[in-house]
Amino acid sequence: MKQYICFDVGGTGIKYGIIKENGNILEKGSMDSEARTSGGPGIVNKMIKKTKDYSSRYELSGLAISSHGMIDSKNGIVMHADDHLIPGYSGMKVKEIIERETGLTCEIENDVNAAGLGELWLGDDTDSRLVSMITVGTGIGACLIQDGHLINGECMCAGEIGKIVIPGGRFEDLASAYAMTSGLEKKLGLESDSLDGKMVFEKIQAGDQVYIDAVDVMIDKLAIGLSTLAYIYNPGIIILGGGIMARDDYFRPRLETAMAKYLTPLILDHTEIRFAKLKNDAGMIGALRNFLNKN
């Protein structure tokens, strides 16, 4: 069975693994991206070096990447990446560079798109023709998958749901995990970036009403954005991912109640909320699924 090296590139870290063509992970690890000091070129060099290291131990049949940014997956180019996260990444011809340096066929896809492909492949059986995957973290991203294929849009930018405007501002500025924690930090006079999701839920379990209220606001804003998506695209299933969404026992009932305020009964009855199962491996597994779809 063929084996592939797969990467999941984020602003702070790079996950990597050797994955068989059936999706089984043989070996995996992670490394700092050092993006703010070495930028996009540094990240690409790290992937090339890691690939060459593994090439001495495995017979690799290709290289698959899930990456932050707006990705032209047809040509393997990073069209846009947030410069404060990965400077110098926008415009990089990642596929061309890696294929030249490693001799392996390379495919690259946006991280949320990849996560959606991974979840539909190995995480969640579904007979729905139209599925949306939403990741909630520092920002909010989405993908749409119809009959197993990504809907990319005219310029490969479909799914940038975090940028839509809802009452109060941009969706991701109101409903992301970062928006919730930074709002609490400001309200409580805490140091910036001192809170994370785990700490927030420890406070919730202790009955701290300030934290409970903050997450309730986040859930309501999330319901508004997801309801907008449901009205426009009418997906049968919306899969929620991202670290904070691992607490599905907390989010599911509250989110379903909130969405009932914004959706008509017909659409509500035909919109199922699910939570991601592949967790941190979804990007790498989806990157491989994207590779196999194209080769």
Tens of pLDDT, residues 261-291 = 999 999 999 999 999 999 889 999 999 999 9
Asked if residues 7 and 65 have their Cβ atoms less than 8 Å apart, the reply is yes
Tell me yes or no: is domain 125-276 CATH 1.10.287.610. no
Give Cβ neighbours of residue 171 (< 8 Å, ≥ 6 apart). Answer: 140, 161, 162, 163, 164, 165, 221, 224, 225
Nearest to 246 by CA among 275, 216, 289, 206: 275
* Beta-bridge mates of residue 144: 132
pLDDT band at 157 (very low <50, low <70, confident <90, very high): confident
Instruction: Say what the pLDDT of residue 137 is.
Output: 86
What's the DSSP call for residue 148?
T
Report the C-alpha gap between 57 and 62 in whole angstroms.
Answer: 14
* Beta-bridge mates of residue 28: 17
pTM recorded for the entire structure: 0.89
Instruction: Say what the pLDDT of residue 10 is.
Output: 87
Same fold, 3-110 and 125-276: yes
Report the C-alpha gap between 10 and 21 in whole angstroms.
Answer: 23
Report the C-alpha gap between 191 and 188 in whole angstroms.
Answer: 9
* Radius of gyration of the chain, Cα coordinates, nearest whole angstrom: 19
**Options 3.60.15.10, 3.40.50.10740, 3.40.50.1970, 3.30.420.40; CATH of 3-110:** 3.30.420.40
Report the C-alpha gap between 106 and 66 in whole angstroms.
Answer: 11
* Domain boundaries defined on the chain: 3-110, 125-276
Q: Is the pLDDT of residue 126 over 90?
A: no
Q: How many of the other CB atoms lie within 10 Å of CB of 215?
A: 22
